[in-house]
Structure 1
Amino acid sequence: MLVEILRQVYRPSRRSLFAACAITICLPFEATFAQDNASKEESIFLDDIPVILSASRLSQPINEAPVAVTIIDRQMIKDSGAWDLSEVFRLVPGMYVAYHADPYFSADSTVAYHGMVTTTTSDRMQVLIDGRSVYSSLFGGVNWSDLPIVLDDIERIEVIRGPDSASYGANSYSGVINIITRHPAESQGASVSLSEGPGRSEGVFRYAGKEGALSYRLSASARHDKGEADLVERPTSLFKFWTLNKYDNKTIQNFTLRTDYQVNADDTLEFQFGYNGGPRQVGEYGNVSAVRRQAENHFEMLHWRRVLDNGGELSVQAFHTVERVSATLQDSDGYSNGDATLRRFDLEVQHTFSPFKNTRLVWGGSVRYDQTTAPYYLGVGDNQYLFGDFPYHLRRAFANAEWRATPDLVLNIGGMAENNTYTGTDITPRIAANWHFQPGHTLRLSHSRATRSPSAYEKVYEGYWRGADFYPDLPILRPERVRSTEIGYMGKIGKIDVDMRLFNDDYSDLIDVRNQLSPASGNLNAGSAMMRGYEMQIKTPIGDNTRVIYGLSGGRVNSNNVNGVIYSDSLPQYSHSLMISHDFNARLRGSVVAYQVARTKFNATDYNPSQNRYYFIDANKRIDARLGYQFNLGNTRAELALIVQNLANAHYFEYRHDNELPGRLARLNLKLDF
């Protein structure tokens, strides 16, 4: 069965892909009318519906959320065999992940929903950890290796597949990732995890305990990663630049502390602290590079919650983060100061209550202050930011209401009003209707608007392009905008959970500062694009011991492609992911994960047929596997696991023609729970 499923997934026929979509659309209707006992089906379905926390800031069954959501639970993370956190998102329909794609600021991965990316920073998606934004102020996006978190502390990840500025404001432009860590009470005791493989090693220690009303968890880890091979195995050109991979060796040291104190029956106080540091390489041969680069990042967060009558809640969250790198950069002109410091202060108040029967409302507001200091990256042109010290103020007010108009019809209405230093005031609304048209089957129709604010780097370059030698009358930089409409279906057909989505996203005012402006546009917000596509995810057990999760996505982008920015081909025509996990017995569990992505084109500067670097990067596929055996060592629970990534030893490129995925990588992991 496993071989047959893999064979079907890896047929790159467009006919078979759209046939799979058509079959999935038709199945629920055929199954619904074939059921003789609908009430029994509804009972089974309702028992299995997961509750999500992130889509509208209200706790909701996933089939009543106003936007599509993928849940990645602890078991999925474990079965995936992922080494980096960023790799987990290959399991999300519509997500594009490229290994170590950033050659300049950090040796890190690209994670981009819908592949709508022209830079390596993936700056069109918001990322939260326990509600705390880790979206970077300098370039936007996330430096995944710099996050103070280890995989085993994650309880689950909720990925909002679609714009959600109504809930989380600007930069929740194409989607939101909310990483939710485990409560200390769920992981009592001590554990040690050791991993070893060619070019990779890691040790993780965790201890969680409880003293009266106080629960706490300490986690510490050290990781060494040599990254890509120094030489490209199958270069597209013999020109030396294209035969060498990027500098991406790194050492990551993490320490995190979380405490939860039950003050009384109604009040809870949570405190978190995290640190991430260590040497990191960055850059590439013949370009900007820092063979030695030191990262030191930390955060502190305090979160107070009070339970109110009738299921309401009042919460106040405050956090402070510092991202700091120290580096000496080298290029053809000599040496430069590559130091950068990013500071953030954030305070948010949120109130949830039920104002009327069948209605719930969450509303609140927040203020934020960012300060970005980066002499090399922001010290451009003759402007006030020559020394790279750049402030940013943000004020927000939000509200989301859920109204159960009838037992089968749920309406979600919400929006965000925000004002920031760079672009002024914006309002981003959303309206959605979820109709349970048959027991166990739901249709969702939604429309939303979202924005992305310029990064500090983009705002500085606005002043550069407005200089006397370029475009003194350049229009003021505006936020990027998107209008998104989707039709979604969620249902249970027998034991099969189906989640499908058709979407239409209209992008406007797209920002580009890295390419030469054309006299015709003379506008940093000249870009526009129309994206239409589909997504599907299926989860089903096969027997009592096997679990299958399959994802499919695809679509097309039409764009004016101004200023040399290519959006038209930025969405792969299809991508697959397939996870099959199986319990052989109570002690032995195995999993196989397969990925396939159609040919892609994200970087216009790659195009050079004379050096065998063509407009498209070839399609690729990869298979990972994990086999874990649990046993006891006295009173200690233990697991020994073999993880192999890129099982077939495929050598292919992601994102650029000098970004070759490492060949087969195997490692052993031993975990002990005391």
Structure 2
Amino acid sequence: MSAEKISPIYLYRGILLHARYGAYALLLLAATQAHAATGGEEAVLLDDIPVVLSASRLSQPVNEAPVAVTIIDRQMIKDSGAWDLSEIFRLVPGMYVAYHADPYFSADSTVAYHGMVTTTTSDRMQVLIDGRSVYSTLFGGVNWSDLPIVLDDIERIEVIRGPDSASYGANSYSGVINIITRHPTETQGKMVSVAAGNGRKEAIVRFGTKNGALSYRLTASVREDAGEDANIKNATSAFTFWTLNKYDNKTIQNLNLRADYQLNSADTFELQMGYNGGPREVGEFNNVSAISRKAENHFEMLHWRRALEGGGELSVQAFHTVERVYASLKDSDGVSNGDAILRRYDIEVQHTFSAFQDARLVWGGSVRYDQTYAPYYLGVGDNQYLFGDFPYHLRRFFGNLEWRARPDLIFNVGGMMENNSYTGTDTTPRFAANWHFQPGHTFRFSHSRATRSPSVYEKVYDAYWRGPNFYPGLPEMQTERVKSTEVGYMGKLGKVDVDFRLFYDDYSQLIDVRNKRSAAGGNLNAGKAIMRGYEMQLKAPLTDKTRLIYGLSGGGVKSDNVNGVVYSDSLPKYSQSLLLSHKFNDQWSGSLAGYQVAQTKFNATDYNPSENRGYFINGNKRLDARLNYQFKLAGSQAECSLIMQNLGDARYFEYRHDNEVPGRVVRLNFRLDL
């Protein structure tokens, strides 16, 4: 299947088939545009447009960025009542989140933009913390519980909704998450926070200070998390395997340092260091499980910035990360060595300047070296793969030109040239135009190409299948590719900020190495799919004390599902989220967060009608609440929060029919700023 076989009429008809949700979104867009055309005192320029830093590597108003961006600010994080970092992304239109879906390596959550999840690792999205890639080398994706960060140290999160390999290279295939931490000057003094509830406990201590040109912050935390309930309440089968949840208890110990030094008026040095460790459970009943498993992860990053004349900047960033797991794994064959060590060394240079009048250019390059050691996971049943580190070399050159051709018309043209030791050289260009066709109303068109490189696990399997005992004539594995086109609108309808987009993604060369039929079929890159849909995000200050944030998405995936790898229907027909917050007075505030997802189909192996497990996993919805009280304690600012997740005690499944989320979870949080 290719994009050429699907006409534009088919694309838009497919979008409109998603019942009233797409129709409502399109009607709202039409009403907004009509409102803009009437002129009048309400058709004004937006004076509160947020600035994004991640879309093109340039600082831009969000309505001039070349891609759609969702901004999650500190208040949204608080109001959501989220416990895990991964839970926050339920607020992003088009994002699929499944609680602790992975039972095999980390018992961690799945976070995937636009579905397309054939494994729990969600390996088609790039994740950054202050520009540092935390995309894992072994399976791809991110181990969310292993990140050395606490929610309270996050300033904001920018989520790029769509491919962005032009800015961040391969693996920015479906989207990018950039987590931006708070500057040390914003976290001065001491802070203590403790939380306790059913199955969850946490303590956080933070100290920040400033000494002349040096400011720094040190945060330490420990968390006990009992994870899912031991037994599945609404089991789909009486077979014991399907009545028990996975082993996912974990202890998370974090230590994080950020220091910023203003050398002079032009030069700034930033140092970051972090540690994450502790015992973790992993595995399922009667399957591979960890007798003992302990994580030890750390990173070090140094970032130098020099401010240049005319608003330009020169920066150099270097970082080193280590993800280490000590594990003894038990299965039907006995006890195995489940240790894994993933190392990364990365240095990047970036230069921003005014290329000519009304134009800005950012360009630069980076080199990376990864090492991966994981005897159990990379053994593939053959001793020649059991020992040694698997190296990965990456070299990149990138650039983006922003040109304001007219006051109301902005072009972004850019791309990335990337060479890696697995698949060679790829180029991923992007073109975008943003037209402010009326004051306060913007139309965006963009087209880009993106790639995803194989993970170490996939590369080792590639060599395994092409070995002399299997299919030596099998073509060498290549990168996954996508051609993405979007039409977007941003504007203001009264007090409501509207962000709407239509997207059309043509995926090709999709990788599958876990299914022998892919190798036997003669192509590990045989997968193809067409995805089309819509997204809408609304932000509205209903009053000066009440804020509403609403997200809606819908669409569909069509594929020939070659070799039995099912991509069709892997995108929920619709999903929506609602965050309503209200400040009652100077002391009391509260919020409600609601989520709904249509039925999903993600894991082909889960389909077994004889055990009462159908092709689809039923849709679900839930409601969370937070009540907050602020007060003074011995002259210091204090607050207590009562947080209730899954108020209705809904028992539903995410990702698989044996992955039942926890029921109602209540916790009390106390915080004191000294």
Shorter-chain TM-score range? over 0.9
Equivalent positions of 1:146-545 (< 5 A) are 146-382=146-382, 384-518=384-518, 521-545=521-545
Amino acid of the residue matched to residue 33 of structure 1? A
Structure 1 counterpart of 2:584: 584
Look up the SS of the partner of 1:135 in the other structure.
coil
Structure 2 counterpart of 1:595: 595
Alpha-carbon deviations, 1:206-237, whole Å to 9, x = none? 11100000000000000000000110011000
- Alignment partner of 2:36 out of 29, 32, 35: 32
Are the counterparts in 2 of residues 383 and 463 from structure 1 also a CA contact under 8 Å?
A: no
Work out the CA distance in 2 between the residues paired with 1:217 and 1:196: 25
Structure 2 counterpart of 1:667: 667
Alpha-carbon deviations, 1:607-657, whole Å to 9, x = none? 111111111000000100000000001211011000000000000000001
Look up the SS of the partner of 2:101 in the other structure.
coil
Amino acid of the residue matched to residue 80 of structure 1? S
Structure 2 counterpart of 1:22: 26
Work out the CA distance in 2 between the residues paired with 1:548 and 1:292: 45
Are the counterparts in 2 of residues 376 and 388 from structure 1 also a CA contact under 8 Å?
A: no
Structure 2 counterpart of 1:631: 631
Look up the SS of the partner of 2:75 in the other structure.
helix
Structure 2 counterpart of 1:6: none
Aligned length: 658
Amino acid of the residue matched to residue 546 of structure 1? T
Work out the CA distance in 2 between the residues paired with 1:37 and 1:542: 19
Are the counterparts in 2 of residues 516 and 564 from structure 1 also a CA contact under 8 Å?
A: no
Amino acid of the residue matched to residue 38 of structure 2? A
Work out the CA distance in 2 between the residues paired with 1:273 and 1:181: 13
Work out the CA distance in 2 between the residues paired with 1:164 and 1:127: 12
Q: Does 2:548 align with 1:548? A: yes
Work out the CA distance in 1 between the residues paired with 2:26 and 2:161: 21
What TM-score do the two structures reach when normalised by structure 1?
Answer: 0.96
| Cα deviation, residue 29, structure 1 | 1.8
Work out the CA distance in 1 between the residues paired with 2:257 and 2:26: 48
Structure 1 counterpart of 2:644: 644
- Would the alpha carbon gap of residues 628 and 276 (structure 1) be closer, same or farther in structure 2, given more than 3 Å must change? same
Structure 2 counterpart of 1:5: none
Look up the SS of the partner of 1:75 in the other structure.
helix
| Cα deviation, residue 464, structure 1 | 1.2
Alpha-carbon deviations, 1:167-207, whole Å to 9, x = none? 00000000000000000001111111100001100000111
Work out the CA distance in 2 between the residues paired with 1:383 and 1:603: 30
| Cα deviation, residue 382, structure 1 | 4.1
Amino acid of the residue matched to residue 454 of structure 2? P
Alpha-carbon deviations, 1:339-361, whole Å to 9, x = none? 00000000000000002000000
| Cα deviation, residue 42, structure 1 | 2.6
Amino acid of the residue matched to residue 615 of structure 2? Y
Alpha-carbon deviations, 1:512-558, whole Å to 9, x = none? 11112257731100000000000000000112211000000010101
| Cα deviation, residue 14, structure 1 | 5.0
| Cα deviation, residue 472, structure 1 | 1.1
Amino acid of the residue matched to residue 496 of structure 1? V
Work out the CA distance in 2 between the residues paired with 1:146 and 1:340: 13
Work out the CA distance in 2 between the residues paired with 1:103 and 1:296: 19
Structure 1 counterpart of 2:98: 98
Work out the CA distance in 2 between the residues paired with 1:388 and 1:143: 23
Work out the CA distance in 2 between the residues paired with 1:519 and 1:162: 30
Unaligned runs of 5+ in 1: 1-12
| Cα deviation, residue 332, structure 1 | 0.7
Equivalent positions of 1:5-20 (< 5 A) are 15-20=19-24
| Cα deviation, residue 103, structure 1 | 0.7
| Cα deviation, residue 386, structure 1 | 2.8
Are the counterparts in 2 of residues 329 and 335 from structure 1 also a CA contact under 8 Å?
A: yes
Are the counterparts in 1 of residues 411 and 434 from structure 2 also a CA contact under 8 Å?
A: yes
Unaligned runs of 5+ in 2: 1-16
Structure 2 counterpart of 1:8: none
Work out the CA distance in 1 between the residues paired with 2:22 and 2:127: 31
Alpha-carbon deviations, 1:323-349, whole Å to 9, x = none? 000000011111100000000000000
Look up the SS of the partner of 1:366 in the other structure.
strand
Are the counterparts in 1 of residues 18 and 554 from structure 2 also a CA contact under 8 Å?
A: no
| Cα deviation, residue 592, structure 1 | 0.3
Work out the CA distance in 2 between the residues paired with 1:446 and 1:613: 41
Work out the CA distance in 1 between the residues paired with 2:632 and 2:535: 43
Alpha-carbon deviations, 1:413-446, whole Å to 9, x = none? 0000010010000000000000000000000000
Equivalent positions of 1:42-53 (< 5 A) are 42-43=44-45, 45=46, 47-53=47-53
Work out the CA distance in 2 between the residues paired with 1:507 and 1:115: 13
Percentage of pairs with the same residue? 74
Greater Cα offset, 147-156 or 23-32:
23-32
| Cα deviation, residue 469, structure 1 | 3.3
Amino acid of the residue matched to residue 44 of structure 2? E
Alpha-carbon deviations, 1:435-489, whole Å to 9, x = none? 0000000000000000000000000001111123321101011000000000000
Work out the CA distance in 2 between the residues paired with 1:553 and 1:23: 15
Q: Does 2:90 align with 1:59? A: no
What TM-score do the two structures reach when normalised by structure 2?
Answer: 0.96
